Chain A
Amino acid sequence: MADLISLRGIKRHYDVGGEVVRALDGVDLIINHNEYISIMGPSGSGKSTMMNMIGCLDSPTEGVYEFEGELVHEMDDNQLASIRNRKIGFVFQTFNLLPKATALRNVEVPLIYANISKSERVKKAEKALLAVGLSDRMHHKPNELSGGQRQRVAIARALVNDPSILLADEPTGNLDSKSGVEIMKILDSLHDDGNTIILVTHEEYIAEHADRTINLFDGKIKEDRQTKKRKRVVA
């Protein structure tokens, strides 16, 4: 099978007040289907830029980005929006749910932009919420849900369009440890179901859930190692 993601010589430079900030400075990376990767590094190492780059929110200043054979670095805004919609699921540290919408509605939104009919949207959204164990909280708004539940809504939203990859940016950063464990369990089982997951974190114990850890420093990959294989649940 072809590589899921291939980054070759990716650079992302910002011009801040006449000074060039090299957020990413020549990154080469191959990500395969069903990998479970954590990206680590200190503040300012380029984690977020890397995340935005892989998530097609940002375009490289230089380099080649292939996503399932499509050349992302050549895409315009509309194509990037489409690829984010169809192939990428985001989970953010601060959940980033629409505050005035119910859980069900929040999960429906990506499907609206994918032009799916109302009845089908509801069906798929309900299924996704059921998968994260929230079928009884579907009609609650985010402020009526706990942090862990909110993050589970966000995961359901990320998964509802059957993306090729799940990008989780500090998914447990705003949660108490118990909720954090729950969320990590969900991510682990999603990986076991065949999903590709990229995790950005600065917590070692979170990174340990992944099979592969990439360490960034000053916009470059300092270390790329296979971590211990979690015990696979084979059906």
Chain B
Amino acid sequence: MAKQSHLKNTIKESFRMAIESIRQNKLRSILTLLGISIGVFSVIGVMTAIRTLESSVNSQLDIFGTNTFMIQKSPAIQIHGPGNNKIRKRKNIRYAHYEELKQRAKLPQQVSVVDGTGERNIQYKDKRLKKTAELSGVDEWGLRSFKTYLADGRNFLEDDIRFYRSVTILGPDLADILFPFEDPIGKIIQIKGLDYTVIGITERKGQAFGQSQDYFVMIPISVYIQRFSSRWTSLAINVEAESTELYEKTMDEVIGLMRVIRKVPPEEENDFEIISNEELMDTFAGFTGGIKLFAGAVSVIALLVAGIGIMNIMLVSVTERIKEIGIRKAIGATRRDILTQFLMEAIFLSQFGGVVGVILGIAGGNLVAVLLKVPAVVPMDWAFYGMAVCSFIGIGFGIYPAWRAANLDPIESLRFE
């Protein structure tokens, strides 16, 4: 007699039964599956979305040049709360602070200063901007600190800053609007009615967070302070360390100096913020971590509810099939056979639901990718966890109904109508 593995036989048989029972009770099964699907969908969807966000945001947050950090008055990402007043009351960072820091700091490769504002009143002949552009005041190190490269023309010189020269470097998007058919280099544009000579055009960077990074205009920081600053203006200082090894030391020196320059008492916190690529990414990771935790908690609840649904449906299924269980026992099914059969059915039910949830979740999460125009992500690890959790739910919530089925008395079951 050709024998085969008992388990394999039982699993095959159980799989068949599960399919049959799902097919026979389509609506009921679909509703049960839906519970699991929604639970898995929420977890996979959120995780996929976060992962696409992470991969795109992390590349977009990589805004500073190598070994560069920035000092400014307020944090990069502000959360409304009681701490805000304290930040608002801080002293502004003024040009004098920058000059003193630059003079006294020994370790940095370079120290530069920058500030920006929005400006719409920019024109060349009859061509005007329709949208407000970002106007930055920078020094000769400005391009380098923001990892921006020139496509054409020249950078600002020390003399441009020192002698308040009305010169400007344009982002390519802005240049395209003002100079659709001309070479912009050497041309004179008006910003707020005053003339500036275009000396350079930067390379195209593309979008970040759905916004162009190429729609800006730069002028010397000296000119900027003269014409665009107010008593609320607080500058930002960019510091580049000589090497990765010296990065921490440089930061320590600069923080110490800034405290001295701004006369911060020893027992008080810094009255300025240090912002770097790492710090931006950490802040973002803290933010997504919170979302992940929340999504996890919601999914646990959803899956718990779905599990109870499965248990309920399995109990109904056992009651409906008491006679069948009796017949199967009479012709030789052991307790284990019946237990396996019903347990498998519960597992398959939750697995089907899980597969649907994973597919929908990945699709839904990647919708975020499409919206943000970033590459799609398939989180295989999360898909795997999702399916594993589904199996656990199937076993956890299927074991009691299956146990009840297995322990039915064959004679009573056969008599059941």
Closest Cβ neighbor of A58 among chain B residues = B411
Which residues of A lie under 8 Å from residue B332 when comparing CB positions? 81-82, 84-86, 110, 113-114, 161
Q: Does A109 contact B (CB under 8 A)?
A: yes
Shortest Cβ gap from B23 to chain A (Å): 9
Query: Size band of the B side of the interface?
Result: 20 to 34
Residue of B nearest to A51 (CB): B411
Residues of A within 8 A of B336 (CB): 78
Distance between A203 CB and nearest chain B CB, rounded to angstroms: 21
Q: Report whether A78 and B334 are in contact in the complex, using a CB–CB cutoff of 8 Å.
A: yes
Partner of A112, one of B13, B20, B410: B13
Taking CB atoms and an 8 Å cut-off, the chain A residues in 93-124 that contact chain B are 96-98, 100, 109-110, 112-120
Flag the segment in B3-11, B64-72, B162-170 that touches A.
B3-11
Please give the distance in Å from B416's CB to the nearest CB on chain A: 11
Tell whether, in the assembled complex, residue B24 and residue A100 are in contact, meaning their CB atoms are under 8 Å apart: yes
Q: A112-B9, A116-B2 are in contact. Are A98 and B335 (CB under 8 A)?
A: no
| Contact partners of A181 in chain B: CB under 8 A | none
Indicate if the CB atoms of B4 and A98 lie closer than 8 Å. Answer: no
Indicate whether A57 reaches chain B with its CB closer than 8 angstroms. Answer: yes
Which parts of A112-151 form the interface with B (CB within 8 Å)?
Answer: 112-120
Cβ-based interface call for B328 (8 A): yes
User: Given contacts A92-B414, A100-B20, are A84 and B330 in contact (CB under 8 A)?
Assistant: yes
Partner of A113, one of B24, B333, B411: B333
Bound Cα distance A174, B334 (Å): 29
Q: A81 near B329 (CB under 8 angstroms)?
A: yes
Choice from B2, B20, B411 contacting A120 with Cβ under 8 Å: B2
* Complex partner residue of A115 from B4, B324, B327, B411, CB under 8 angstroms: B4
Give the nearest-CB partner of A108 in chain B: B13
A204 to B21, CA, bound (A): 43
Hey, what's the 0/1 contact readout for A56-85 against B, CB within 8 Å counting as 1? 011000000000000000000110011011
- B1 at the A interface (CB under 8 A): yes
Chain B residues with CB under 8 Å of A157's CB are 331
- Say yes or no: is B144 at the interface (Cβ < 8 Å to chain A): no
**Chain B residues, Cβ within 8 Å of A81:** 329, 332-335, 337
Residues of chain B in range 371-417 having any CB-CB distance to chain A below 8 Å: 410-411, 414
Check B323–A96 contact: CB distance below 8 A: yes
Contact B335–A78 (Cβ < 8 Å): yes
Check A43 for interface membership: any CB of B closer than 8 A: no
CB of A52 closer than 8 Å to a CB of B: yes
Least CB separation from A48: chain B residue: B411
Interchain CB contact under 8 A, A117 and B2:
yes
Chain A positions 141 through 183: 1 when the CB is less than 8 Å from some CB of chain B, otherwise 0: 0000000000000000100010000000000000000000000
> Closest CB-CB distance, A87 to chain B, in whole Å?
10
Identify which of residues 1-49 in chain B touch chain A, using a CB-to-CB cut-off of 8 Å.
1-4, 6, 9, 12-13, 20, 24
| Chain B: minimal CB distance from A115 (Å) | 5
CB within 8 A of B3: which of A92, A97, A116? A116
- Indicate if A41 sits at the interface (CB-CB under 8 A): no
Q: Does A36 contact B (CB under 8 A)?
A: no
Query: A55 on the interface (CB 8 Å rule)?
Result: yes
A115–B9 Cα gap in the complex (Å)? Answer: 7
What is the bound-complex CA distance between A8 and B392, given in angstroms? 49
Supposing A115-B6, A117-B4, A120-B2 touch, asked if A96 and B414 sit within 8 A by C-beta, the answer is: yes
Q: Is the CB of A82 within 8 A of B334?
A: yes
State in angstroms the CA–CA spacing of A109 and B1 once bound together.
Answer: 16
**Chain A residues near B12 (CB, 8 Å)?**
118
User: With the chains together, A55 CA to B330 CA distance in Å?
Assistant: 8
Which 6 A-B pairs give the minimum distances between C-beta atoms?
Answer: A85-B332, A113-B332, A81-B334, A117-B2, A110-B331, A120-B2
Identify the B interface with A (CB < 8 A): 1-4, 6, 9, 12-13, 20, 24, 323-324, 326-337, 410-411, 414
In the complex, 10 of the A-B residue pairs with CB atoms within 8 angstroms, ordered by the A residue number, are: A81-B329, A81-B337, A82-B332, A82-B334, A96-B414, A98-B327, A110-B331, A115-B6, A117-B4, A118-B12
Instruction: Given A100-B20, A100-B24, output 19 extra A-B contacts at Cβ < 8 Å.
Output: A55-B330, A58-B411, A77-B334, A78-B334, A78-B336, A81-B335, A85-B331, A85-B332, A90-B330, A92-B414, A96-B330, A112-B9, A113-B328, A113-B334, A115-B3, A116-B1, A116-B4, A118-B12, A157-B331
